[in-house]
Chains A and B, each alone.
Chain A
Amino acid sequence: MNIHEYQSKEILKGYGVTIQEGIVADTPEAAAAAAKELNAKTGTEWYVVKAQIHAGGRGKGTVNETGSHGVVLAKSLDEVPAKAKDILNGTLVTHQTGPEGKTVNKVLIAQDVYYPGESDPKEFYLSILLDRAKGCNVIMASTEGGMDIETVAENTPEKIIKEWIDPAVGLQGFQARKVAFALGLEGEAFKGMVKFIFSLYKAYLGTDSSMFEINPVLKTSDNKILAVDAKVDLDDNALFRHKDLAELRDLSEEDPAEVEAAQSGLNYVKLDGNVGCMVNGAGLAMATMDIIKLSGGEPANFLDVGGSANAQTVEAGFRIIMKDPNVKAILINIFGGIVRCDRVANGVVEAYKNIGEINIPIIVRLQGTNAEEGAKIIEESGLKVYSAIVLKDAAAKVKELI
């Protein structure tokens, strides 16, 4: 589960991670008040207004309605409300949002941390994430702060430092020192970075996260180490033991159809194609999407109905898929093991009749337990439904219908 920057920073602060301070606001007036409060708290006279959406690239991104960037600097208290107004409720398009962009409901008013001083401010990259191949967590750091780590990995892989954490003993002091030295730090800044890494790792474990990305981490001109941005990805499977974190979920950041599907126990991801699909099992669902593509169509969605493909789940699935106006045909692909095909077929017929108007062709491919009986029920239903047993035939039917 992804959360917003302001939520991530709040969590990190609770674990002793030093952050760029900020206050969240959802109106220009609240933004002005936040700036005032921040001035009293930190003494900052410049303010950074940051759009809060679940996507990166905000600084370079543009708000459709006003032309403002997603992260802007206000050089006085007076500038804050107008700058916030240009971002709030606008549609921010970044390289990660897709062309449709995302609506900004909140802005974070943050202190300016790039002030001049005894040395130049310097940005770094720091993340903690799971290394699947090694089965343990890894700390990744780079001197190339503020850049896409993918770009750094491609062009200058030698600039990425990695420290794997032994699950038996946890993060050790020498590892944090290794990272801080490799980043070229010394003196106060070095000490600050070691402490920063330890606090960050504690927060990572404490929140059951699957990824932390702090980009950039800033060494200020007076040698403090601060998280200027924070991306926290929480492990969905561990949310049962973090009720407080589960509440941070922002449904407005998610596709409404995906949220509705989850409420019906379906696993749905919306895509851009023209052929909808409904499948039992995640692997088979992805394979079915691939079949649609190979048959000349484009998958309109991923939809895993799970182990129980009954009339209710099939009906819920139909309704969700048909909300997408691009869908020209639906392929249902169920491999009946424990669940019997004749029961799934009855479910399909029942769901079809319940919905009433279905104006697009539906291909039902049932294989496994009682496949023949299932096909017979579909064929005799008199509905505009095509039946198939072998996967190849289903693929051919998709091709024919598009």
Chain B
Amino acid sequence: MSVLVNKDSKIIVQGFTGTEGTFHASQMIEYGSNVVGGVTPGKGGQTHLDRPVFNTVKDAVDQAGANVSIIFVPPAFAADAIMEAADAGIKVIITITEGIPVKDMITAKEYISGKDLTLIGPNCPGVITPGEAKVGIMPGFVFKTGRIGIVSKSGTLTYEAADQVVKAGLGISTAIGIGGDPIIGTSTKQAVEMLMNDPETDGIVMIGEIGGNYEAEAAQWIKAQGNPKPVVGFIAGQTAPKGKRMGHAGAIIGGADDTAEAKMKIMAECGLHVVNSPADIGETMAKAIG
């Protein structure tokens, strides 16, 4: 099982021949991900990294059977790339691009609503099912195979959590980087739900940050389900000042409800194992899983 991506995923790379696309596509191929080709408008018919280049996502779906896409195209064109993938029938669209204008994302999100697909990101490290498929920019070796799922808004903090989980003697089923932008395709709650429903996942690490209400929503949903699997939660930004943007466009404290403190309180009330220190994620999960 696992969620979103596995060894059978037929992956294409949008923005395949650009610097970022080329670098990360070759890393993914090296990891063993089933990359069936890529899309760069105007370069259709060429071969890149020993794989075919297509002009359109539709061509990639028709000719290579693509069902997962990872997007590296620059911010100005990224929302268009998401909509093209959705139109072509791609089922899982993972958008790495950072810096997409909010207005563009509102349009893209509206366009994909009601369609049978999952958008992950933008501004995220991607998704990895260790040993099967890495569809992202994370260092694959950190993620050893196992039964703990990870949902996170942040890149390097996801690697940190995975590393701790592995060092605690556990491993990762699927790690989902949902992204740090104000508008993202998959919410914390939706990602947690996927992992709750995955028979190969026994516990979940949920990493959030200041801004928005996604973590509170996820925590309340987990409680409503009767806490079927242990969830370890951490919120980055306990020391962040109000009103200042902390790197991620979404990481800004607005009202009282989106502070780290408020989120952690709700998470604890909903029965999650909340850690104050990011250094305690792995050990806490090992204890919770028993």
Co-assembled chains A and B: yes
Chain B residue contacts of A271, Cβ below 8 A: 239, 241
Q: Are A302 and B277 in contact (CB under 8 A)?
A: no
Whole-angstrom distance from the CB of A56 to the nearest CB of chain B?
A: 11
Nearest CB on A from B101, distance (A): 4
- Interface assignment of A283: CB less than 8 Å from any CB of chain B: yes
**Known: A167-B110, A335-B156. Is A269-B182 also a contact (CB below 8 A)?**
no
Q: In this assembly, does A40 line the interface, its C-beta being within 8 Å of a C-beta of chain B?
A: no
A292 at the interface (CB under 8 A from B): yes
For the complex, is A174 an interface residue (Cβ under 8 Å from B)? Answer: no
A240 and B238 alpha carbons, distance in the complex (Å): 32
Say which residue of B164, B213, B249, B277 sits within 8 Å of A237 (CB atoms).
B249
The answer to whether B159 touches A289, judged by C-beta atoms less than 8 angstroms apart, is no
CB distance from B73 to the nearest CB of A (A): 14
Is B131 an interface residue, CB under 8 A from the partner? no
Bound-state CA distance A167–B102 (Å) is 12
How far, in Å, is A208 (CB) from chain B's closest CB?
5
Q: How far is the CA of A137 from the CA of B102 in the complex (A)?
A: 10
Of A62-70, A127-135, A192-200, A243-251, the one touching chain B: A127-135
The residue that B183 contacts in the complex, of A132, A205, A279, with Cβ under 8 A, is: A132
**Which residue, B163, B237, B239, B248, has most C-beta atoms of chain A within 10 A?**
B239
Q: When the two chains form their complex, are residues B248 and A283 in contact, meaning their CB atoms are under 8 A apart?
A: yes
Q: Are B103 and A238 touching (Cβ within 8 A)?
A: yes
| A17 close to B (CB within 8 Å) | no
CB neighbors of B among A138-171 (8 A): 150, 153, 167-168
Cβ-neighbour of A132 out of B27, B212, B260 (below 8 A): B212
A287 CB contacts on chain B under 8 angstroms: 154, 157, 160, 234, 236, 278
B152-174 CB contacts (< 8 Å) to partner A: 152-160, 163-164
Among listed B53-61, B84-92, B136-144, interface-contacting one:
B136-144
A154 to chain B, nearest CB (A): 8
Query: Which of B101, B137, B248 neighbours the largest number of chain A CB atoms within 10 Å of its CB?
Result: B101
Cβ of B245: which chain A residues have Cβ within 8 Å of it?
A: 269
Within 8 Å CB of A302, what residues of B?
Answer: 240, 244, 246-247
B230 interfacial by beta-carbon distance below 8 Å: no
Contacts of B110 in A (CB 8 A): 135-136, 167-168
Contact assessment for B142 and A283 in the assembled complex, using a CB-CB cutoff below 8 Å: no
Give the contacting residue for A130; candidates B182, B244, B277; CB below 8 A.
B182
- Structural contact, B106 and A283, CB atoms closer than 8 A: no
Q: Report A-chain residues with C-beta under 8 Å of the C-beta of B246.
A: 269, 282, 285-286, 302
Chain B residue nearest to A284 in the complex (CB):
B156
In this complex, the member of B75, B106, B180, B247 whose beta carbon has the largest number of chain A beta carbons within 10 angstroms is B247
- Interface positions, chain A 249-291, Cβ under 8 Å from B, are 267, 269, 271, 273, 279-291
Interface residues on A, range: 35 or more
Give the residues in chain A near B248, CB-CB below 8 Å: 282-283
Cα distance, A279 to B239, chains bound together (Å)? 15
Decide if A284 touches B279 in the complex (CB within 8 Å): no
Residues of B within 8 A of A (CB): 27, 75-76, 99-107, 109-110, 137-139, 141-142, 152-160, 163-164, 180, 182-183, 207, 209-214, 217, 234, 236-241, 244-251, 255, 260, 276-279
A286 to chain B, nearest CB (A): 4
A101 interfacial by beta-carbon distance below 8 Å: no
Closest B residue, CB atoms, query A336: B139
Is the Cβ of B100 less than 8 Å from the Cβ of A237?
A: yes
> Mostly helix, strand, loop or mixed at chain A's interface?
mixed
8 A–B contacts, CB within 8 A, in A order:
A130-B183, A132-B213, A167-B106, A235-B101, A241-B101, A269-B244, A269-B245, A368-B159
Q: Residue A308 at the B interface, CB < 8 A?
A: no
In contact, B101 and A237 (Cβ under 8 angstroms): yes
Q: CA–CA, A135 to B212, complex, Å? A: 11
Which of A298, A368, A369 has the largest number of chain B CB atoms within 10 A? A368
Contact A289 B239 (CB under 8 A): yes
A282 near B279 with CB under 8 A, answer: no
Residues of A within 8 A of B109 (CB): 135, 167
Q: How far is the CB of B168 from chain A (nearest CB, A)?
A: 12
Contact in complex: B139, A367 (CB < 8 Å): no
- Nearest first, the 7 A-B pairs at minimum CB distance are A283-B154, A282-B247, A281-B156, A337-B139, A238-B101, A283-B157, A286-B236
By a CB distance below 8 angstroms, the chain B residues around A284 are 154-157, 160, 236, 278
B213 to chain A: which residues have CB within 8 Å? 132-133
Is the beta-carbon distance between B207 and A392 smaller than 8 angstroms? no
Contacts of A168 in B (CB 8 A): 110
User: Are A286 and B237 closer than 8 Å at their CB atoms?
Assistant: yes
List the B side residues contacting A289 at CB < 8 Å.
237-240
- Among candidates B104, B159, B247, residue contacting A285 with C-beta atoms closer than 8 Å: B247
- CA separation between A267 and B245, bound complex, in Å? 10
* Residue in A136, A150, A273, A279 whose CB lies within 8 Å of B106: A136
Closest to B152 in A: A283
Q: Which residues of chain A are near B27, meaning CB under 8 Å?
A: 338
Scan residues 103-141 of chain A and give those whose CB is less than 8 A from a CB of chain B: 130, 132-133, 135-137
CB-contacts of A328-370 with B (<8 A): 335-338, 367-369
In the bound complex, what is the Cα–Cα distance between A368 and B138 (angstroms)? 11
Interchain nearest-CB distance for B183 vs A (Å): 5
On whether the beta carbons of A237 and B154 are closer than 8 Å, the reply is no
List 12 additional A-B contacts (Cβ < 8 Å) besides A269-B245, A368-B159: A132-B183, A132-B212, A133-B212, A280-B156, A282-B180, A283-B247, A285-B247, A286-B239, A290-B239, A290-B260, A299-B239, A337-B137
